[in-house]
Structure 1
Amino acid sequence: MNAKSDTSSLSSPLDKVKIVLAIAILVGGVAGYYIYEAAPTVLRVAGVIFSLAVAIAVFMTSDVGRELWRFIQGSRIELRKVVWPNRQETVQTTLVIIFFVVIMGIFFWLLDMFLAWAARMLTGQGG
């Protein structure tokens, strides 16, 4: 393990407070949805969405949140490097998979029929 991963796994007490606060805000928003049953549904849903946004904002200020954001950014960069198949390759691959599934389905159906016949013969139920 390198020094970077050792220090990033240790979070400060303030980071732990931020994470707990983010969870509490989210739980509070969901609890508010059920507590204020008489309020219009649109306001209750807006409250949950607002609490989710605030919880995410608080979480992203912690070291764990910043690490998550760096991971997301790195994933987006890697995603841009992917060479996606064109339509012809996609259709050909799909047809090969469908053909293979049909062949395997027939194989397992025949195997099942044979094993059922063998079980009937072994138990004396077949004629």
Structure 2
Amino acid sequence: MNFLAEKLGVSLETFKLTVAVFLLILGITAFYSFSGISTLVRVIGLLVFVGGAAAIVFQTELGRLLWQFVVDSRIEVRKVVWPSRQETLQTTLVVIAMVLVVGIVLWLFDLILMAILRFLTG
């Protein structure tokens, strides 16, 4: 009995995801098929199809896991200590200075190698 319930649950999940993908494809096809209609109306229709597909996906286990991931990600972003404006400016200036220094060193290295190559090849 348990095996049958699990199999039915998996097939229902697959069916829901298939219907959601079908709705997305149908919405995109309708958006481009009705090019004579106002763009605003077509976008609203596309958003209705995407919303319907999202509602179906969030009824599945995969959708619930995805939503939990989004919630957990937002919680983690709130924990981040963002740098101040002064720290960001100082770090940016250090990066720019180092890029310039490395660029000049590589340019000088290239000049030296070219001079050596010209000397060797005549």
Output the TM-score relative to the length of structure 2: 0.82
Looking at structure 1, the residues matched to 65 and 53 of structure 2 have their Cα atoms a distance apart, in angstroms, of 16
Q: Summarize deviations over 1:66-88 as a string: whole Å, max 9, x none.
A: 00111111111111111111122
Does residue 63 of the first structure (1) align with residue 61 of the second (2)?
A: yes
CA offsets 1:43-95 (integer angstroms, 9 cap, x no match):
11111111111111111111111001111111111111111111221111111
Give the TM-score, by structure 1 length. Answer: 0.80
- Paired letter, 1:34: Y
Larger proportion of helix: 2
Q: Distance in 1 between matches of 2:114 and 2:57?
A: 58
Q: Which amino acid counterpart does residue 41 of structure 1 have in structure 2?
A: T
The RMSD of aligned alpha carbons is: 1.7
CA deviations over 1:1-46 (Å, ceiling 9, x no partner): xxxxxxxxxx711111111111111110010012112222211111
Question: Match for 2:19 among 18, 21, 30?
Answer: 21
Match of 2:28 among 27, 30, 38: 30
Structure 2 runs not aligned, ≥5 long: 1-8
**Quick one: distance in 1 between partners of 2:117 and 2:58?**
61
- How many residue pairs align between the two structures? 114
Identity %: 41
Q: Distance in 2 between matches of 1:118 and 1:62?
A: 68
The worse-fitting range, judged by mean Cα deviation, of 109-118 and 63-72 is 109-118
Alignment-mate amino acid for residue 20 of structure 2: A
